[in-house]
Amino acid sequence: MTTAIQNWVEEIAALTQPDKIRWINGSEQDEMNQLLVTHGTFTQLNPEKRPNSFLARTNPADVARVEERTFICSEREQDAGPTNNWRAPAEMRTKLNSMFEGSMRGRTMYVIPFAMGPIGSDMTRYGVELTDSAYVVSSMMIMTRVSDKVLDEINNGADWVPAVHSVGVPLAPGEKDVPWPCAPEDVHVVQFPETKEIWSYGSGYGGNSLLGKKAMSLRIGSTMARDEGWLAEHMLLIRITAPTGKQYNVAAAFPSACGKTNLAMLKPSLPGYKVETIGDDITWIAPSKSGKLKAINPEFGLFGVAPGTGPDTNQHALDSMKENAVFTNVAMTDDGDVWWEGLGEAPDHLTDWLGQDWTPESETPAAHPNSRFCVPMSQAPTVSPDWESKEGFELDAILFGGRRATNVPLVTESRDWNHGVFMGATIASEQTAAAEGPVGQLRRDPFAMLPFCGYNMADYWNHWLELGGKLSNPPKIFQVNWFRKDENGKIMWPGFSENTRVIDWIISRLENEAKGEATPIGRIPATNELNIEGLGLDQPTMDKIMAVDSDSWLAEADMIESFFDGFGLALPKEMTRQLHWLRSQLELQKNNLVSS
């Protein structure tokens, strides 16, 4: 191993003072799982129903990403931008040194060398995580490629990201541990962009502690991408085979719990279509030699929200977790299997995510709304046979989507690349349980990257604009919304498998077969272009699903302007130009409607 890594491990060990140090090479999965069972962190599920699978229950105060405790410590505050929490690096380092001093006493410090992407690919980046959590070790071996080969790549000159994690609960000699140690009042998830460092303290939960995931793949990843001329995105990645046999690669950005995993594992409702999963959450994108964009999934596993995942919504996801799965904060059945809301009819009795008795008459959910499943990507029945291609996949289309009850049509095509960037920059979604804050409240979530962009979001938009300007054949950009509601509050579009029909129209636009209808916000399907045969949707309902109302969108434009104002002089002039163009077209549409 490199002297740099060895010296760093010794330096962190001197600070955190673990009882011992254990180097992980990726072969320890079974050992870690049994250790966690012995410790009480894992409950082994019924091996006849769910072979080699486990349930973890967290501390009730450690159940989600903690966005207000996530920091981007760039040298200059303006480089973090208004959407990130910033602290001066020197000030934060002093605080972290105090917090981490002795934080691993009584525990083992595990050294995890990991790859984000196929080892040896020019699109792959490497990291080493130090942690005192066996849960993190087990999960990282599912979610990333943990291997001694990573150390070989680093020895051969590959850059690497140092990541330090502690649950923040040192043990005195003889002190008994708890099943889920954490320090929820002191959680800090800190990124230093210039030195590409990650420090995380106090939480054992997913994105806070699995530092290859959001912290490296997106926050540090996005800054590496800016500096090196590529994109690190919160996107799924799929290959679609049309009835013609032609294949299309599509990336899509959705905020958490907005149908992302369902689209990543889409079970097509139209004959002749096939969807293969390449990635479900994070996509790294770089220019290809042919003037297009090529993409990889840097992850190795699936880490999805369990509630709402059921036989009617995502049978493929259920099939992926039949074995070798780790579930966190779901309910357990009396016969040792798992259950959550959306999985089917509730049994008469369960043990809920808090370890308490639960019946259908209980007033609280059996599974936490942000409970998770974690399984190897290779187990997804829809996984593409070549999903680990080192060359990547050239993109034909990029989709942006959110959960909107009003305003946003089912599908809209951007006029061009810059308009597509404007679409991505102005995405808004009703908030979900995956992040802290009022569920249902509308918030702007540009590119679904609001909690994940590691630098000024306005500079990030500018990076997208500049990169697109260098492409001779960029993918087309679309916005989708499966969640539009009628006057009674009912979602009008059936969604799930039927979203194939939207994909079908998108492909018809890629092939210039459908003409669509121009609107102030982009091109939508013309009447009868979208295949709705057998759905029982009449034309008035489809008109509501596709409606672009001038007054509502002018009000939306005002909200967008207010959002843009928060970025000050950093806002790219192109974003202002796009907003002015939108307003002018809405006024024209409104005047035409009035005059007619």
Question: Considering only CA atoms, which of 484, 528, 483 is closest in space to residue 505?
Answer: 528
Q: What is the pLDDT of residue 432?
A: 53
Q: What is the pLDDT along the chain (596 residues), one digit of tens a residue?
A: 578 999 999 999 999 999 999 999 999 999 999 999 999 999 999 999 999 999 999 999 999 888 899 999 999 999 999 999 999 999 999 999 999 999 999 999 999 999 999 999 999 999 999 999 999 999 999 999 999 999 999 999 999 999 999 999 999 999 999 999 999 999 999 999 999 999 999 999 989 999 999 999 999 999 999 999 999 999 999 999 999 999 999 999 998 767 888 899 999 999 999 999 999 999 999 999 999 999 999 999 999 889 999 998 889 999 999 999 999 999 999 999 999 999 999 999 999 999 999 999 999 999 999 999 999 999 999 999 999 999 999 999 999 999 999 999 999 999 999 999 999 999 998 765 555 455 457 789 999 999 999 999 999 999 999 999 999 999 999 999 999 999 999 999 999 999 999 999 999 999 999 999 999 999 999 999 999 999 999 999 999 999 999 999 999 999 999 999 999 999 999 999 999 999 999 999 988 854 43
- Residue 10, Cβ neighbours under 10 Å: how many? 11
In the set 182, 258, 374, 453, the catalytic residue is: 258
Q: What is the pLDDT of residue 313?
A: 87
Phi, psi torsion values for 21, nearest 5 degrees: -120, 135
Q: Which residues does 174 contact at the CB level (< 8 Å), separation at least 6?
A: none
Q: What is the pLDDT of residue 438?
A: 52
The answer to whether 545 touches 525, Cβ cutoff 8 Å, is: no
Q: What is the pLDDT of residue 65?
A: 85
**Rounded alpha-carbon distances, angstroms, from residue 90 to 9, 69, 93, 98, 287:** 21, 17, 5, 13, 36
Is 453 a known active-site residue? no
- Residue 580, Cβ neighbours under 10 Å: how many? 12
The domains located in the chain, with CATH, are 3-39+67-229 (3.40.449.10), 232-301+387-590 (3.90.228.20), 302-379 (2.170.8.10)
- Predicted TM-score of the model (pTM): 0.95
Over the Cα atoms of the chain, what is R_g? 24
Please state at what angle helix 573-595 crosses helix 417-425, rounded to 10 degrees. Answer: 90
The answer to whether 152 touches 117, Cβ cutoff 8 Å, is: no
**Rounded alpha-carbon distances, angstroms, from residue 142 to 339, 401, 499:** 21, 28, 29
Where is 140: in which H helix or E strand?
Answer: helix 134-143
Residue spans of alpha helices (H) in 211-282: 221-228, 260-264
Q: Which residue has the tokens 């006057």?
A: 487
